[in-house]
Chain A
Amino acid sequence: MIETDIIIIGAGPVGLFTVFEAGLLKLHCHLIDALPQPGGQCSEIYPKKPIYDIPGIPEILAGDLVKDLLKQIEPFKPGFTLGDPAIDIEETADNQFIVTTKEGIKHKAPNIAIAGGLGVFIPRKPPVPELKQFEGKGVEYIIKDPEDYRGKNVVISGGGDSALDWAIFLAEGVAKKVTLIHRSQSFRAHPDSVQKAMDMAESGKIKMLLDAEVKSIGGNEKLSDIHITTKADGPVTLNADNWLPLFGLTPKLGPIANWGLLIEKNAIKVDNSTDYSTNRDGIYAIGDVNTYPGKLKLILCGFHEATLMVQSAFKRIYPDKKNVLKYTTVSGVNGFE
């Protein structure tokens, strides 16, 4: 059991900054995120996009903002449970919460801050009717262990970095055969990866089918056939052991909707007049995941919400302890041992 003062669900920019503000009050934090890396949308969706409305920073790439936030919170030694979404919240008899992840890791704290942004990132699934039937029986959206594909006949769909990088990796001596299917002639991946994949297609290491799309799949028990249509040749059927539709990730509110919180327009209702608390005492929601009259989904608003929220969390833990606002210019940043 991981024990801390505040469990932060969501390691995006607002979740990360919560660690800093909590640290100033000597509160420890542990972050949980479904993604394998911290940063939330900033890392997953737009790391190379500039942000212009962080006060005092005229321009910063989203990925760099995450790097700087991680550096800023380093003195407060946050814990991380990454690549593993928070699934369940239970209350204990001693007024604490236990948050359990999909992998079964348990975290205990008197306070929870949900900084879940738009929710859990899940794979975008193509609308192929038989998809569900073959999930786990040849169809995978996330590659957990490339060794699973050793000696296999693998078909990959998609035109982004994930599709290209895996096609290249698996074609270099792992899979028996790799076919890459994409609906267009151009890719939205890193130019180096595109060039490399094109070169491998030229030398026959990757079979590339462009202007093509998977329409249906079939097989007995396990996947064996992939039916595609191509602009040039019409319908084509491929034999395959695996189909990996790699179309990126999309956020969904997911398990957050099952935690007994008031949800309005896909966001958690909070009390913005005080401390961004939800309808459950001890559970707060900050950043893009919350809603209140006049809410703006901006990182800078999330930072403000986090700052007020940790003050309230402090009072819940130490109702009788005196606490005054400290200016970092006066006190500096006193990290944890």
Chain B
Amino acid sequence: MENIINITVVDREGKEHKLEAPTDMNMNMMELCKSYELPVAGTCGGMAMCASCQMYVLTDHVPIQRNYDEQAMLDEAWNVEDNSRLGCQINLTNELEGLKVQLAPHVEEESEDDW
């Protein structure tokens, strides 16, 4: 189909999800995951300010090019690897056909003592 690419997302339990992703809707990987109800919080709405959509890029046809804000956020995030990206900063384009990513572990930060 035109303007639809195939993307695989591995969730935190190791299960693979095959997603069809539109490339003409100005969407990013965080939004795509949310639209399929995968457990990606996207707390900051896509401003590269929370790292809740961190994912590891498993395929090598996507260049790992972090932008400035994304790099700065990842500098303060946890479980960061060389192939870490923020999903909200990966815009869906036709070049991403076949992309495979894995969701980074969820870090439990809250406890009853915090409020």
Contacts and interface: CB of A to CB of B under 8 A. Distances in A.
Interface of A: 34, 45-46, 49, 85, 87, 102, 118, 120, 122-127, 132, 135, 158-160, 182-184, 186-188, 247-248, 250-252, 254-255, 297
Interface in B65-115: 69, 71-73, 75-76, 78-79, 107, 109-111, 113-115
Closest 5 CB pairs of A and B: A188-B72, A184-B75, A122-B114, A252-B110, A254-B115
Interface stretch (B1-9, B14-22, B23-31, B44-52): B44-52
A92 B52 CA distance: 40
Main secondary structure of the interface of A (DSSP, over half): loop
B97 to A, nearest CB: 30
A46 B113 contact: no
Main secondary structure of the interface of B (DSSP, over half): loop
Contacts of A124: 76, 109
Contacts of A184: 71-72, 75
A254 B49 contact: no
B74 to A, nearest CB: 9
Given A45-B49, A85-B115, A122-B114, A188 B109 contact: no
B43 A160 contact: no
Given A118-B43, A252-B109, A188 B115 contact: no
B115 A34 contact: yes
21 contacts: A34-B115, A45-B44, A45-B50, A102-B115, A120-B115, A122-B115, A123-B114, A127-B78, A135-B113, A159-B72, A160-B76, A184-B75, A186-B72, A186-B75, A187-B72, A188-B75, A250-B50, A250-B52, A251-B43, A252-B110, A255-B115
Contacts of B73: 188
